[in-house]
Structure formats: structure tokens, C-alpha cells
Amino acid sequence: MYRPEHAKHTATTAHHDDRVQFLVVGDESSLLQLEAELALLPLCARGRAFVEVENPDDVVELSTPLRMTVTWLPRARRSGRPGTGESCAKGDAATRAVRAWTTEMLCDGPGETRAIVTGGFALVTEVQEHLRCEVGMADEAITAPLYR
């Protein structure tokens, strides 16, 4: 049903979606932590979660806010470094997904994006380095474990 008052409101109201978006990354070694981090997000949180696992059978149901999209990345179905014929190593699939997502979604800089990175050493360090050095995210916008 057409409502003239709604049309007037829509025409005169700026529709800027300036809320924070989240990038959540993890692997099979951090599924419990990943679940906890997703549960702590606001119900209205929006963004993307990339979860790398060994096989498609390792995919489990995760509870997420409605506006979060979860992409499962089974290594068994992916190749390693281009042109090498190698298998996909731990951390490679999620790192590649994060690089592609940030290139497309953060082309104007990180803006109000927050990252939560969990998982093995290779994954966490590669993703953190990419977000800081190539994307320009501030340290305080990235939550990740400290590896020493």
C-alpha cells in the first residue's frame, strides 16, 4: 500500500549506514572462540565471517547476528599457491578470502570496520599484517591473540 507520508520521509531523510561493520576470521582450531566472539556481537551487527576448515564435513552451524554472512572455506576443495600444484596450506584459504573481501569492501579505506581474528599462528599473523599494512586498520580496530 502506498503511503505518502512514508515517501515524503524517505525522500527527505539521508540514509547513511554509518554503523560499524565486522570482519570475523577463524579456523577449526578456534571454533569455540569464534562462536563466543560471534555471540558477543550486537544483534544488529553486520559484516562477514570467514571460517577455514579442513573438510566440508567440518562445517558446523554458527549462531550469528542476522546481518552477518558466514563463508566456510574447506581447504580440501582449494588449491595452494597459484601455479604450484600444492594443496591449500593452513591459513591460506582464509587469508585469500580476507584479501579479496577487503579489496572489494574497503576500497576507500577501513572506515568503521572492526576485525576479530582467531585461529592458528599463520592465519592470525598474515591477516593482521594485511589489515594493518595494506588496508591501514588501526591496532585498536583489530582483536587477535598475541603470539610470542
Q: 18 pLDDT band (50/70/90 cuts)?
A: low
* pLDDT score at 84: 77
Calculate what percentage of the chain has a pLDDT beyond 90: 72
To which H or E segment does residue 82 belong? none
Which cell numbers hold the place of 42? 550486537
Bridge partners, residue 79, by sequence: 87
pLDDT of the residue at 122: 93
Least confident range from 8-17, 29-38, 135-144: namely 8-17
* 107-146 per-position pLDDT tens digit: 888 899 999 999 999 999 999 999 999 999 999 999 998 8
User: Domain 27-143 belongs to what topology?
Assistant: Rossmann fold (3.40.50)
